[in-house]
Each structure stands twice: as structure tokens, then as C-alpha cells.
A and B are shown apart, each in its own frame.
Chain A
């Protein structure tokens, strides 16, 4: 199957009632199989950027897990428990879509934190990934800072024959683009060019 399962497309092919039933079945399958999925291979992305500022100055901008508005695509950001492990933050993106992320580990002395996107509250149409985890860290390189963003995840469609927008390439591309844009935005913010 190479076609997507967008409602409009399925509606054209099967008529709207059949399409809705199909969609319901598909979404049930998605929910029921995510935890068991192993067929797809886990993917990974690493992006780094050098920023003309001290590592401490960069860390100061990103250290508050609750506030992800340093990311260009994030309009609003709140968290329920600051920088405590398990704290859950809700990012509202430009256009209104939301991403919910949970803090997994926080090590200010190492200028790094890890977080996850819980599948249960994740919409793959916003970011086409499952079982997503990421690490953000800052290191000094002379008088400059190196920021590294690493992510590990499965594609958005956990079963066989993913539609193109939910396959491995789509997942890697979306995360790569997010990291590139996010790090470039951070660089401009810190270097005062925004």
C-alpha cells in the first residue's frame, strides 16, 4: 500500500462511511500495536551547532524545561513540575498543534537533560514518530559552546507498509528538520541576531 489514509482520499475511494470505519479500525490498530511494535527499526538523529557564546550562557537559555519558547516553532510552553524528573510540558506550536513531553533526566552540572514524548498523548501528524526520546546538551569548546541534540525513535506508523508520510524516511527527515531549525534559532537568539 503506497496511498495515504487521509480521510478525503479514503472517502473518494470508499465513500465517507466506509472511510470513517476504516479510519477507526486503523487508529485502533495504531493504539493497540504501538507498545508491541518491533518490525520497524529504531532510527536516530544527531545534530550539533557551534554558538559564539559561553556554554553557561547557552545553558541558561535552554535549562528551564518548562520554557521551550527558545525554539522558533514554539509559541507557548508550560510544565507541571519545572525541572523535576517526570515533569510534563505542553508545547503549543505555531498554528496551534501541541506536543506533550516528559522530563526523563536532568543533570545541570553536566548541562544536559533527557525527555520523551509519551505515545499515549502524541499525535503523529504533528511529529511522525513513536517511542521518541531525546537528549539536549551543551559543552564548552574554548570560549564557544557546542550544543548537541540527539533523538531516538520509531517511525509514525508501527506496522507493515507505512504510508509515505509515516515511514522511516519521513520520521528521520522531520526530526532532522526540527533539530536543525531549533538549533539555528537558538544560535540566533543567543548571538543576538534574532
Chain B
């Protein structure tokens, strides 16, 4: 049988009047260079919420395309880039002005996105065309494409910018792309439906959240081989690291599993909001932000006490899938 046409369904969601009113009513607070900002994509509201992490408060909601989902940020280039699968586009946000700038139509289903500061390129996984695109930043232009596995879902860069890793959700595999040649050089199998991936820099390992196996694969990046499988909560989605812990968002359990990366065992579980999705660690490693899709909030977890210390209202359908923090912007 032929595969089903996977081009994106046209969405019919509209921004709700309530959220427009809310956004207009919010005070536009300024932010300082020392502050770290968080960029939270809100898929239902078609906005990005910008949070000042110093105050733990929402700065404003910015309208961006249709169904914003993926996000990546560059402190060096002072911008965030947002994927909007609903209109197959990528848009940039200037972190000083907090205004949208250039945008580009990129493939059919751009979801995961990650910026390469050194090469000044964006890498974007196209869920439908099973490719990863390389896109220049100024101007936004697709300059290279590489075939990967089916439904590429998560992206991670090696700390030395040599390799890009991709989770192929519907092939149950991970691909390694060597960036100098932009070719797939190695791959390895995971459990069922790997989605979010992240690199444990302390041990040079990659973790994949396997949505349908309720597990995490731990991959030794030297050997490109799984060395452990750790059971987590229901429908794990995304992963972030702080200190010796890995934090895994479990969509159906409304929890975050905390994994001890030395023992390779679950240390504890933290209750967060409903349908936790994108999860990220502040650059200073002090807090972990997780976006709660159902609740339209972000739960802030203290990385040392492993307790939720703040819950911040965002906008409808928060996902925050990717790297969300930038430091050093201001007006």
C-alpha cells in the first residue's frame, strides 16, 4: 500500500478573543541585558509567550504564524526562531525588540529546529518529507537537505558542533549527521517512537524519550549504541539536563521523571501541570522550565530541591519544543 499523503492538514483553529484581550491588557515590561528570557510557543493561540526568568513573569505574547511548536534561540545572534507547522514556516523574533522579523516557508512539516551558532545555520526536521534542512540565517534560505528516517522529530547538536543527531519517530531509530559533509554517517535503534532527544554532556550520551514505550534510551555517542533503557512515566515527550539529573516530561502522567545520570535510574517524580511537553534548563542550571500544554502554563522546577517553585501563565496550548532561553537582550 502506498503511504498516506502526509502533507499538513490545514488547520482551522482561530485565536480566541479572550486571549487577544488578555494579551492587550498585559503591561509591556522592559527587560535588561542581564536577564534571561524564555520563549514559549503556544500552538492553539498562535503566539509565543516571552517570560523574564529573573522575575518569573510574562513579558508579552507575540503573534507568530500558525500553530507555533518548535523553538531555538541564540544568545550570540540575539534571536529566536519558531517553527509553525500549520503554515509550514519558520519565523525569527528579535530578542531586543521582541518583534517578529523574517520568515520562510520550509518544507511541509517543519517541527524540530536547532541553531548552529558557529556555522550560522538553522537545522530543521521536516516531519512529512523525512529530511533535515540546513537554512542560512541572513537571509533565511534553504541551502542543503539530507534524507533521514521517517518522521524526524527531535534534534540535538554535539557540544563541539561536529554532529547533529535526529530521532526518527516512525523508524524507531536515531541518525547521526556529520555536519561538515551534511551526510548521515551512523544510526542506531531505539525503543518505540523516539521523540525528544538531548545530550548528557557530562557522559557524552544521548537520551531519547520513547513516546510509545514509556522509556528512555541512553545512547553512548562514542559507540552510537544504546547502553541502557530506563522506564519513565506515560508518554514521555522531551528531555533536559541539570547537574547530574535528566528531567523527562511525561505527557499523560502530568509528571516529570528525574533520572540520576550516574546510576541510570529514576530518582523521583515531580508533579507538574497537565500535558507537560517541552522541557528546558536555564543556562545557570538553577531551574527547569516545562510547558504544560493543557493548562497553558509553565512549571518552574528548582534543580536542587526538585520542587515546583513557580507556575507562570502563558497562552493557549504551550509546547516550547526546543531551546527556549536567551541571555543578554534588552532595550
A41-B67, A135-B274, A168-B13 known; A36+B294 contact, CB < 8 A = no
Q: How many residues of B contact A (CB 8 A)?
A: 30
B41 CB, min distance to chain A CBs, angstroms = 12
Inter-subunit contact A133/B252 (CB<8 Å): yes
Q: How many residues of A contact B (CB 8 A)?
A: 26
Tell me which residues across on chain A come within 8 A of B127, comparing CB atoms.
38
B11 close to A168 (CB less than 8 A)? yes
Closest CB pairs A-B (n = 3): A39-B9, A40-B9, A160-B9
Give chain A's interface residues, CB within 8 Å of chain B: 28-29, 32-33, 35-36, 38-42, 44, 104-105, 114, 133, 135, 150, 152, 159-162, 167-169
Q: Please state if A104 and B234 are interface contacts (CB–CB under 8 Å).
A: yes
Instruction: Tell me which residues from 203 to 243 in chain B have a Cβ below 8 Å from any Cβ of chain A.
Output: 212, 234
**Is A39 a contact of B6 with CB atoms below 8 Å?**
yes
* Cα distance, A193 to B86, chains bound together (Å): 46
Q: Which of chain A's residues have a CB closer than 8 A to the CB of B162? A: none
Contacts A36-B169, A161-B10 known; list 7 others, CB within 8 Å: A29-B1, A39-B109, A41-B67, A42-B293, A44-B294, A152-B293, A168-B11
Q: Inside 8 A of A104's CB, which chain B residues have their CB? A: 234, 252
A25 to B, closest residue via Cβ: B1
Contacts of A35 in B (CB 8 A): 212
| B89 located at the interface, meaning its Cβ lies under 8 Å from any Cβ of chain A in the complex | no
**B6:A152 contact, CB within 8 angstroms:** no
Nearest chain A CB to B297's CB is how many angstroms away? 13
Kindly state the separation between the CA atoms of A29 and B12 in the bound complex, as whole angstroms: 23
B190 at the interface (CB under 8 A from A): no
Inter-chain contact B5/A160, CB cutoff 8 Å: yes
B43 at interface by CB-CB < 8 Å: yes
CB A14 to nearest CB in B, in angstroms, measures: 19
Q: Would you call A152 and B11 a contact (CB within 8 A)?
A: no
Q: How far is the CB of B248 from chain A (nearest CB, A)?
A: 18
- A150 CA to B86 CA, complexed, in Å: 24
Closest to A169 in B: B12
- Interchain residue pairs with CB less than 8 A apart (10): A32-B1, A33-B4, A38-B109, A38-B151, A41-B11, A114-B252, A152-B274, A159-B9, A161-B9, A167-B12
Bound together, the chains give a CA A35 to CA B213 distance in angstroms of: 13
Task: State in angstroms the CA–CA spacing of A178 and B88 once bound together.
Answer: 33
In contact, A41 and B170 (Cβ under 8 angstroms)? no
By the criterion CB–CB under 8 Å, are A36 and B11 in contact? no
Interface of A is mostly: mixed
Q: Please give me the residue from chain B that is nearest to A155 by CB atom.
A: B9
The 8 A CB mask of B1-37 against A (1 = contact, 0 = none) is 1001111111111000000000000000000000000
Q: In the bound complex, do residue B1 and residue A28 qualify as a contact, i.e. CB atoms below 8 Å apart?
A: yes
Chain A residues within 8 Å of B81, by CB: none
Q: By the criterion CB–CB under 8 Å, are B1 and A39 in contact? A: no
Most buried by B among A41, A135, A168: A41
Which residues of chain A are near B4, meaning CB under 8 Å?
29, 32-33, 159
B252 neighbours in A (Cβ, 8 Å)? 104, 114, 133
Q: In the complex, are the beta carbons of A159 and B5 less than 8 A apart? A: yes
Which of B13, B169, B294 has the largest number of chain A CB atoms within 10 A? B294
B67 and chain A: residue at smallest CB distance: A41
The verdict on B163 contacting chain A, using a C-beta distance below 8 Å, is: no
Cα of A28 to Cα of B293 in the assembled complex, Å: 31
A104-B252, A159-B4 are known contacts. Are A36 and B9 too (CB-CB below 8 A)?
no
* CB neighbours of B109 from chain A (8 A): 38-39
B125 to chain A, nearest CB (A): 12
Report A107 CB to chain B, min CB distance, Å.
11
From B7, B86, B317, A160 is in contact (CB under 8 Å) with: B7
**Known interface pairs A135-B274, A150-B294; A39-B234 also in contact (CB < 8 Å):** no
Minimal Cβ-Cβ distance residue in B for A168: B12
Q: A35-B212, A36-B170 are in contact. Are A152 and B12 (CB under 8 A)?
A: no
